Chains A and B, each alone.
Chain A
């Protein structure tokens, strides 16, 4: 079967790739483009470790086909920091020690960034429900929630 040619934009850079018709965006990012920051935790959309944004929408990249990236703007964890300048969420995750093993961290940061773009002043409950699709087995979520609330406050200039 011949491959599909896809033209897309990833973290602001024009990108082309060939993929199989049934290949997930996650597999394309990791295995074809070496963007391994998105992780496969389940391949069924339950864990959120592969979270990316497609045209500003938060998705599990394991549930999106690579071919669906055609013409889209994809944002991954690799594009969250601006060079040496970490995004406030990244800084606050570090300051609050809101990671242990860190494998869920890219997905959590992408998801939290997407939330704060929509809702700059979320309640703790809103953050907990928004991040309910991102499994973390190490932290019990406590420090993650604190870090996201602190990042939101800083980004609001509060």
Chain B
């Protein structure tokens, strides 16, 4: 696909703020989420979970549970037929253990019964004989040789000898001569930073309803970011044809990356197959925390050299992640994004991943980037402070721009980082006065953005309305954006387009709603599908008028003769052409299938003011400003929403949120009371500034906006903290006890 898709134009609908099509359902309680589906004869499925961090399952006796009245099926991980291989087998084992329980909360057996109460009683009748094994739940403990081994045979290739067999992979990116670069520096700062594992914290627990018939075909309703992915994973685990399983995505109550894989869905299918009845499973909040995927925890060394006038001469990072008991690839985006904001002549970012006895990590908004960029942005801030330079000037001096060879390889096209930094510097927030115990911090952020498999179908209905069929769950208003793009292209009112998210039997494969890909990729496919429909409508008009189709143009919802030579014909509206379509060749449908490329990278800059109570260590966020490049904001309200929501998740990560494991390897805070996400009274207004530097790879210039917003808050707040308390903290979250200790240790 060409990278010159973008064409400047004036928009009628793009950039306005119409109400979302699913809005009324969502303010009246009618919208159906994962747990809101019911079927006649439906059973309740529940999971038995390991209380141990690491234990061999010597035996499981399900006989008493199976004999309980009302119990219709009991299964273990060994009931899967064995079709899953590789990564899919790891995901299956994470859903339901075979032979070894690898973390506190790992499911070891499942029951389906006629009521939740009976299912719970049955779980208590299952006898599991565990042999407890040594466990490890932190990077520091998992790293050295001699550490308790989480799984055998998982050591990655070319791992340095100093690391244990828990090290599953290593990666390295960069270019230039580091030694020569550091030799040119006037000041070199090297620091180590830690971040805790955090959870996506979606308010809707994972839920599904599986219905498998004796013919081996099945339907499933579930809340997911990607129902095609659910279908493909489950089909492989169940040994089914993909076409034998139809998955319908419910409305989704938040995901943030956490609902890009499966947890209970394959188990519900296994139970439904055994019981020959529909089975509904809904995770409790405790299960969500314990057994769905949080983000990786990190331990990162960063070393940066700078001249006294603020030029970075060399930058090096060693990024270590743990993402639970199975390998994962998050070190790749982590290492690739670490220095993505900078134009560097000598740079290296290395990544290492370690296994621990924790749930398998799942994507969480810009997976891997917040942790590594936090460490880099904190060191850049410290260098600026030590050298007496303005932190924005330092960033401007070294900022990546068009033509920069990025630290991870590609050379950037048009990007928005410099305009963002300039806008931040000019923003009144940046120069507003601060009081005692207050500090201001700043950070840049980055995310790659993705494209991927995408297909849509756009039907011109007989009455002139339009049905757009897409295959990506709408997680933040994307149906509104798709309807807007279709309406803009067709030249009809927004209200005339209905966008629906189709099930897996109604469209070809669509990549998961992730990577900030949907407005870009599905938008691109929608525009192309609309153009295909327009071409056909022009052909129908040409046929009606008896002229060549090349002599017909489409303008503002009408087919018109291209010029005087085409003859004098009254323009035909979309509705007029649609009404006659049966007589001019049949239904009119535009469609487009693409492996979308050309997703423009995304940058953001955040400014944050905090005040620290020196007596309690409590941090109040006083003022927060998010600046981000959207390429083109299709629906600015929902772009702002992504920026605000991402920023607040980052604030939670920086100040409060963490997975706390005890010495016994058990998770100690698996609930919203003890794992405290930000509430309304914790926060100020989150101001937003949208910049629009068009992405050359999208017809309207769209860049994804979903991920970048969570990246800068970690360092922005950390940098504000060092100005407020005059101590550079190096571990997140900066919870009150840690801040108080830092203040006291300073003396």
Contacts and interface: CB of A to CB of B under 8 A. Distances in A.
Interface of A: 20, 30-31, 34-44, 46-47, 49, 76-78, 80-81, 86, 90, 93-97, 99-106, 109, 125, 127-129, 131-145
Contacts of A81: 27-28
B419 interface: no
A39 B200 CA distance: 18
Q: Which 3 A-B pairs have the closest CB atoms?
A: A37-B29, A103-B253, A102-B26
Contacts of B20: 94, 97
A37 B30 contact: yes
Interface in B470-526: 475-477
A142 B29 contact: no
Nearest to B709: A140
Given A103-B253, A132-B681, A141-B648, A90 B638 contact: no
Nearest to A80: B28
A39 B24 CA distance: 17
Interface in B194-213: 200-205
B29 A106 contact: yes
26 contacts: A37-B29, A39-B253, A40-B35, A40-B205, A41-B253, A42-B672, A47-B203, A47-B285, A47-B672, A76-B29, A77-B28, A81-B28, A94-B20, A97-B635, A102-B31, A102-B251, A131-B681, A132-B679, A132-B681, A132-B682, A135-B201, A137-B202, A137-B203, A138-B476, A142-B685, A144-B680
A38 to B, nearest CB: 7
Contact of A100 (B27, B201, B477): B477
B19 to A, nearest CB: 5
Interface string B36-49: 10100000000000
Contact of A97 (B284, B285, B637): B637
A39 B203 CA distance: 9
Contact of A142 (B32, B38, B252, B686): B686
Contacts, number: 179
A138 B680 CA distance: 12
Contact of A140 (B23, B282, B683): B683
A44 B681 contact: no
User: In the complex, which of the residues B200, B640, B642, B672 has the most CB atoms of chain A within 10 Å of its own CB atom?
Assistant: B672
Contact of B284 (A43, A78, A125): A43
Interface of B: 17, 19-20, 22-24, 26-33, 35-36, 38, 117, 200-205, 251-256, 282, 284-285, 475-477, 635, 637-638, 640-642, 644-645, 647-649, 671-673, 677-683, 685-686
A38 B29 contact: yes
Nearest to A93: B27
Contact of A42 (B38, B252, B671): B671
Contacts of A102: 22, 26-27, 31, 251, 253
A18 to B, nearest CB: 13
A100 B645 contact: yes
B254 A137 contact: yes
User: In the complex, which of the residues B27, B252, B284 has the most CB atoms of chain A within 10 Å of its own CB atom?
Assistant: B27
Given A38-B29, A41-B205, A90-B27, A97 B638 contact: yes
Nearest to B639: A97
Given A39-B253, A42-B671, A101-B253, A94 B202 contact: no
A103 B473 CA distance: 14
Contacts of A77: 28-29
Contacts of B642: 100
Nearest to B36: A36
Contact of A44 (B201, B648, B671): B671
Contacts of A135: 201, 203, 672, 677, 679
Given A41-B253, A105-B26, A139-B645, 14 more contacts: A37-B29, A41-B204, A44-B285, A47-B285, A78-B28, A81-B28, A94-B24, A101-B251, A133-B679, A135-B201, A135-B672, A136-B203, A138-B645, A141-B680
Contacts of A35: 29
B19 A95 contact: yes
B641 A143 contact: yes
Given A86-B27, A105-B26, A128-B680, A137 B649 contact: yes
B75 to A, nearest CB: 24
A131 B680 CA distance: 6
B686 A140 contact: yes
A140 B19 CA distance: 19
A94 B19 contact: yes
Nearest to B202: A137
B680 to A, nearest CB: 4
Given A128-B681, A142-B686, A101 B648 contact: no
User: In the complex, which of the residues A41, A81, A90, A132 has the most CB atoms of chain B within 10 Å of its own CB atom?
Assistant: A41
Contact of B27 (A34, A109, A140): A109
A39 B204 contact: yes
User: In the complex, which of the residues A37, A49, A134 has the most CB atoms of chain B within 10 Å of its own CB atom?
Assistant: A37
B295 to A, nearest CB: 14
Nearest to B25: A102
A103 B679 CA distance: 16
A97 B17 contact: yes
Nearest to A90: B27
A108 to B, nearest CB: 9
B644 A142 contact: yes
Contacts of B254: 100-101, 103, 137-138
Contacts of A141: 648, 678-680, 683
B637 A101 contact: no
User: In the complex, which of the residues A81, A135, A138, A140 has the most CB atoms of chain B within 10 Å of its own CB atom?
Assistant: A140
Contacts of B200: 137
Given A41-B203, A42-B671, A143 B637 contact: yes
Contacts of B641: 97, 100, 138-140, 143
Nearest to A22: B117
Contacts of B251: 101-103
A103 B203 contact: yes
B198 to A, nearest CB: 12
B283 to A, nearest CB: 10
A30 B239 CA distance: 34
User: In the complex, which of the residues A34, A96, A103, A133 has the most CB atoms of chain B within 10 Å of its own CB atom?
Assistant: A103
B645 A137 contact: yes
A46 B685 contact: no
A127 B680 CA distance: 8
A78 B29 contact: yes
Given A39-B33, A78-B28, A138-B641, A103 B680 contact: no
Contact of A46 (B19, B28, B32, B672): B672
B476 A100 contact: yes
A95 B637 CA distance: 10
Contact of B256 (A30, A47, A137): A137
Nearest to A44: B671
Contact of B252 (A44, A101, A105): A101
Contacts of B19: 94-95, 97
Contacts of B253: 39, 41, 101-104
B31 A129 contact: no
A105 B202 CA distance: 13
Contact of B23 (A30, A99, A143): A99
User: In the complex, which of the residues A93, A101, A125 has the most CB atoms of chain B within 10 Å of its own CB atom?
Assistant: A101
Contacts of A76: 29
A48 to B, nearest CB: 9
B29 A140 contact: no
